[in-house]
Amino acid sequence: MAEYDETVLDSVGPGGSIDHVSVAISDVARARAFYDAALAPLGLVIRFDSDWGVGYGKPNAFAQFWVHPPLEGAPSPGNGVHIALRAPSRAAVDAFHATGLAAGGTDAGAPGLRPHYHPDEDAAFLRDPDGNQIEAVIHPPAP
């Protein structure tokens, strides 16, 4: 992986290059139960809630991560879909994985270091009940 300056952040949401991300789901209530549990350790809460879908973000912030049924047809998650959400700590990575599994997700990569991506990367991967791959990741400096 190319070297980069970790002090330069391009945030998601207003002012960032990416405004928001959405994943297609087949059942709003089932997805909400999964994402409420899995995203809580990452500090993400519901910012928008309706029968149509749910938007998550930091408290008092713009909803940057959305789950809702597709606008046309059935959801078709693919192996190429991968969304990584920044975790505030290694403990949050572990909690994301544990709570996500308990809420109906499936393991797509247990919590642990991923030095082949970044020397200090700690990440965990889940598939939501519809098969979307979601990652919690942190890049802390080495202790």
pLDDT in tens, 26-51: 889 999 999 999 999 999 999 999 88
pLDDT of residue 75: 61
Going from the first residue of the chain to its last (143 residues), give the mean pLDDT of each consecutive group of 10, the final group possibly shorter: 53 66 89 96 93 90 88 64 88 97 96 87 93 89 58
| Model pLDDT, residue 10 | 59
Q: Is the dihedral of CA 79, 1, 65, 71 positive or negative?
A: negative
**Residues facing residue 49 across a β-bridge:** 54
C-beta separation of 34 from 105 below 8 A: yes
Asked if residue 76 lies in contact with residue 128, where contact means CB atoms within 8 angstroms, the answer is: no
Q: Give the model's pLDDT for residue 24.
A: 87
132 Cβ partners below 8 Å, 6+ apart?
Answer: 23, 24, 25, 77, 81, 83
Question: What does the buried/exposed string (b/e) look like for 13-36 if buried means 16 or more CB atoms within 10 Å of the residue's CB?
Answer: eeeeeeebeebbbeebeebbebbb
SS3 content of the chain, % helix, strand, coil (to 5): 20, 30, 50
| Per-residue pLDDT at 93 | 96
